[in-house]
Amino acid sequence: MKLRFKIQPFQTNAVNAVVECFSGQVNTSGIQYRIDPGVVKVNGHEQISNLELAGFKNSDLQITEKQVLTNIQAVQCAQNLPISEKLVPSSGGNINLDIEMETGTGKTYCYIKTIFEMNKRYGWSKFIIMVPSIAIREGVHKSFEITAEHFSESYGKKARFFIYNSKQLHQLENFSSDAGINVMIINIQAFAARGADNRRIYDELDDFQTRRPIDVISSNRPILILDEPQKMEGKATLEALPKFKPLMILRYSATHRTTYNKIHRLDALDAYNQKLVKKIAVRGITIKGLAGTNGYLYLESIEISKHAPVARIELEIKQNNGIKRVIRKLGKGDDLYTISGELDQYRGFVISQIDYTTDTVEFTNGTVLVAGEATGDVNEATVRRIQIRETIKAHLEKERQLFSQGIKVLSLCFIDEVAKYRDYSQDDEKGEYAHIFEEEYNLLVAEYLSELALDNVEYRKYLDNISVAQTHNGYFSIDKKTRHLKNPSVGARAVDSDDVDAYDLILKDKERLLSFEEPVRFIFSHSALREGWDNPNVFIMCMLKHSDNTISRRQEVGRGLRLSVNQDGERQDHASTVHDINILTVVASESYKDFVSNLQKEISETLSARPRKADIDYFIGQQIQTASGPIKVSETMAKQIYKYLAKNDYTSATDEITPAYHNARTEGSLAPLPQELLAYSEQIFNLIDNVFSNAQLPDVGDDRKPKLNPLNANLEKKEFKALWQRINHKAVYRVEFDSEELIKNCVSAMDSDLRVTPLQYTIHSGIQQDLITDVQLKVGEGFQIDKTTTLTEIQSVHSMVRYDLLGKIAGITQLTRKTVAQILTGINKVVFDQFRQNPEHFISEASRIINEQKAAVIIEHLTYDTLAETHDANIFTSGQTKQDFTRATGKLRNHIYDYVITDSKIERNFVTELDTSSEVVVYAKLPKGFFIPTPVGDYNPDWAISFKEGAVKHIYFVAETKGSMSTLELRGIEEKKIECAKKFFEEINRKVDPEKVKYDVVNGFGKLMEIVGGGGV
């Protein structure tokens, strides 16, 4: 496998934030200095060196620290970050930049790209990456290896990189003498620990021409990049940093402990809301005490079956060789006393109700169990076995879904004691957890294979070919027998070959671990992998350890947040399916509620830099970007925003943002801002989004709630197969249009619709009041207004600003300056003269109208070309995702699944009528994997319906259900997607099949039948 990389805007923003802090620096490279000492010792005697080795160092800053601060403030303003009033220094230097990036968003990639960009812009070429651990060090080194070709294509050069080793100082010589990009990766133990090898960096070494390595390093004036700086705040490390004489220090972390000058923020809320990381779901375990019984029970889950729901319950069963705990699938009416072999503790435990919407089982004696609850004789060993079993079960469920998509599933188990997994006192060197894993894995795989569809041949073969002993392995920095599971080449003594293999596979060979050819799928680790290491395909994490305060849940969960890749190395970040594929399941040793509460609390605490109140003081002075550059929010504007939020119940009585705002923002139904602020709408909403509220916290789901929706015999009906054959085509689109047509349409639309609000200013006059109380008044409260005059600015203050009008509109609309000029010169002079009244609003409105006309022309001239490629059938079968059955209908008759998960009351009513209609033979809610490409994003239609032959004129129909049939009430992008879909199906009908498939938008079954019965396409 070869991992593929692409340029991501959010990562480019992080790079630009750093680079722009040094705007004005002259590009200077090739600065030379002498790196040999001049005098060397030979046999204890000094003599002149004849080497005369030349080195290349970073050029000094040519801009002043004041200019750097100005640049930093501009970057901070653009991102609504707290403004640095001065450069906050550290022990390592005066210029310290904090780059906050959530775990899993590619901070290593970002600082590697920053290295290339700094070299391109300013000529700097010497960089040192400092890391707190070997795991992070190896991960960084691997990142340089796998991104080398990607960056070579972008920048036309490669970086030379190496891991510092005090026994291999020739690499340091090369680092100094090479004029290209050079990167040294060093873990802090190499210079901040007490060992003799670690102190060599400060010693004069005979084998290094009596030089000190630290002197050679510092002569390069390197740029220091600290990866996870919060782990490098020990006294020895902080005292060592100045000795490197860094030009500057760049600090990358998701959780900065000490803040210097924050210039970029991509925190947990940003990452989740932009779908840059996986969703999180939790399988918790609750220990429940039941009065009157000691009988052990564990309700693992509720499953949807083709008949009635069944409960997977673990209970004690009397067998010939004693009592054993066994998982059984049980249904309504099952008597646990009988099933257990008449064990007294289960008298009265007859299942009276199984509810798949609440995940509960009720017994006739009144006992109710919720999925994830265990009762009776439950000790720590019981909980650990349950966790391991749940991990394997969750793994197999995800693997079943993702295998056909070429995505390998990995599971990571954190343990608190090495010997519980690897016990060298045993002949097989397996600890308690390794034995439990193999026992439970064999049982679950056997059960799984017995239930797996026979046509799922490839996945069955995959499971059959992996032995239980091969599929799990561990990585530990050191165990209690002082066996170092590290690479012997970096100083540890030789170890067993299996241990070295585990080190290479888990820590270094990411591509191999991601390949289906590699049988390892389950990784057990101690704290060594808690930070710095990650793998994109970790889908399950199991916490086989006691919770403590030294390692946060967020740190551990971070190991699995990165978006996954398939066997072609392609990142699975498609907008329509990213959070269907990328779900991280955490198997916790505490209840779902407790784990989620604590995780969200930890996330909230890391967002301390975000403002918490949307009050007037917050908005005053904030910077918003306009077409002419940044402007600051005035007190008047701040009051307008504040009143707007309060009026629409978007803030609470304590000025906190309410869920109503975030819901409306997501749905695109926000109330319009006051007319004076409309030109700045998006920037103002971004300011509001910057304010923290609990409603923004990532939605952590209960992993037991979603369930697989059983397919039924309707999938095999000839009518559905015929329908699927007709709509199952992929296509690409083309757009060809004449720019003259666009110009004409834009001129016409602007003449009729372009209206600009003149800028106004208000004059207050009044008299000062006597202060008759000792109450301290706010500024201005000592005056009583007796007259207010509002004037319109004919000569706008903005007219003093020189505008690149063509450039601004061309940039927003992505048209050429020539085309924009033709549009503006074509509009009515009275319309154009509005520019003087309010330039900002004019640019905003003109750009909006042009973009609307551009979209309309694109849609009008859009054509589709069908491809031979079709959608895989597994989007209905093996690729099916688990769904939330709290929104499920009752069991259905004509749908290809037994149930439908509906998004609204409209859909629920629509399903009821489809399922009871005598005209409908079969129908399907189309999975998200079925989408149509459009210029405004991929589109997923709702329904595919087949009617009885002869009952109506058209027997095949693809429908989109909406609450309103008015195009005025459809969101703009949504309306455009629907127009594109109509063109797609027109092409399918024209080229693929003479029997036409009808596509349209309906608001209910009545409208559907009206269109179908009406004839025509």
Tell me how far apart the alpha carbons of residues 860 and 856 are, in angstroms, rounded to a whole number. Answer: 6
Residue closest to 557 by CA, chosen among 676, 414, 657: 414
The pLDDT-based confidence of 18 (bands split at 50, 70, 90) is very high
Tell me how far apart the alpha carbons of residues 546 and 792 are, in angstroms, rounded to a whole number. Answer: 68
* Highest mean pLDDT of the ranges 362-366, 549-553, 773-777, 926-930: 362-366
| pLDDT mean over 763-768 | 47
Beta partners for 792?
Answer: 760
Which H or E run contains 805?
Answer: helix 805-813
pLDDT, position 814: 80
Q: Which amino acid is at 935?
A: P
pLDDT tens readout for residues 77-136? 888 888 898 988 877 778 999 999 998 899 999 999 999 999 999 999 999 999 998 888
Tell me how far apart the alpha carbons of residues 510 and 527 are, in angstroms, rounded to a whole number. Answer: 19
| pLDDT mean over 557-572 | 92
The pLDDT-based confidence of 759 (bands split at 50, 70, 90) is low
Tell me how far apart the alpha carbons of residues 876 and 723 are, in angstroms, rounded to a whole number. Answer: 14
More confident residue, 140 or 1016: 140
Buried residues in 126-154 as b, exposed as e (16+ CB within 10 A): bbbbbbbbbbbbbbbbbbbebbeebbeee
- Count, residues in the chain: 1017
Residue closest to 354 by CA, chosen among 288, 397, 315, 305: 305
Question: Cα–Cα–Cα angle for 111, 112, 117, nearest 5°?
Answer: 90
Q: Is the pLDDT of residue 728 over 60?
A: yes
Tell me how far apart the alpha carbons of residues 798 and 831 are, in angstroms, rounded to a whole number. Answer: 18
Q: Is the pLDDT of residue 496 over 60?
A: no
More confident residue, 23 or 803: 23
Tell me how far apart the alpha carbons of residues 107 and 251 are, in angstroms, rounded to a whole number. Answer: 10
pLDDT tens readout for residues 572-617? 998 878 988 999 999 998 888 889 988 888 888 888 778 899 999 9
Judge whether 634 and 724 are in contact, CB under 8 Å. no
Judge whether 99 and 75 are in contact, CB under 8 Å. no
Dihedrals phi, psi of 358, to nearest 5 degrees: -105, -5
The rounded percent of the chain whose pLDDT value lies above 70 is: 85
Judge whether 185 and 136 are in contact, CB under 8 Å. no
Tell me how far apart the alpha carbons of residues 134 and 179 are, in angstroms, rounded to a whole number. Answer: 28
Judge whether 315 and 297 are in contact, CB under 8 Å. yes
Tell me how far apart the alpha carbons of residues 377 and 316 are, in angstroms, rounded to a whole number. Answer: 10
| pLDDT mean over 344-358 | 93
Which H or E run contains 354?
Answer: strand 351-355
Beta partners for 53?
Answer: none
- Residue 128: which residues within 8 A CB-CB, separation 6 or more? 183, 184, 185, 186, 217, 222, 223, 224, 225, 244, 246
| Separation of CA 45 from chain center | 62
Judge whether 946 and 956 are in contact, CB under 8 Å. yes
Q: Is the pLDDT of residue 779 over 60?
A: no
Lowest mean pLDDT, pick from 247-256, 714-723, 794-803, 1007-1016: 794-803
Judge whether 578 and 562 are in contact, CB under 8 Å. no
| Separation of CA 733 from chain center | 29
Torsion of CA 591, 593, 595, 601, to 10 degrees: -160
pLDDT, position 857: 86
pLDDT, position 192: 79
Q: Which amino acid is at 1015?
A: G
Q: Is the pLDDT of residue 144 over 50?
A: yes
The pLDDT-based confidence of 502 (bands split at 50, 70, 90) is confident
Give the pTM. 0.80
pLDDT, position 792: 44
The rounded percent of the chain whose pLDDT value lies above 90 is: 39
pLDDT, position 47: 55
Residue closest to 640 by CA, chosen among 690, 671, 609, 674: 674
pLDDT, position 695: 83
Structure tokens at 838: 């309010």
pLDDT, position 891: 85
Judge whether 312 and 621 are in contact, CB under 8 Å. no
- Residue 537: which residues within 8 A CB-CB, separation 6 or more? 407, 408, 409, 410, 514, 564, 565
Lowest mean pLDDT, pick from 326-340, 401-415, 444-458, 477-491: 477-491
Tell me how far apart the alpha carbons of residues 518 and 521 are, in angstroms, rounded to a whole number. Answer: 8
SS (H, E, C) 39-65: EEEECCEEEECCCCCEEEECCCCCCCH
pLDDT, position 803: 67
Cα maximum dimension of the chain:
107
pLDDT tens readout for residues 839-887? 878 888 898 899 888 888 888 888 998 888 888 767 776 556 778 888 8
| pLDDT mean over 663-692 | 86
**Residue 816 neighbours by CB distance under 10 Å:** 12
The pLDDT-based confidence of 628 (bands split at 50, 70, 90) is low
Structure tokens at 306: 């083709």
Judge whether 26 and 8 are in contact, CB under 8 Å. no
CA–CA distances in Å: residue 331 to residues 307, 355, 363, 960, 976:
10, 11, 11, 38, 49
Tell me how far apart the alpha carbons of residues 315 and 300 are, in angstroms, rounded to a whole number. Answer: 11
| pLDDT mean over 745-774 | 65
Torsion of CA 120, 122, 123, 126, to 10 degrees: -100
Tell me how far apart the alpha carbons of residues 204 and 37 are, in angstroms, rounded to a whole number. Answer: 11
Tell me how far apart the alpha carbons of residues 555 and 268 are, in angstroms, rounded to a whole number. Answer: 12
When the pLDDT of each residue in the chain is averaged and rounded to a whole number, the result is 83
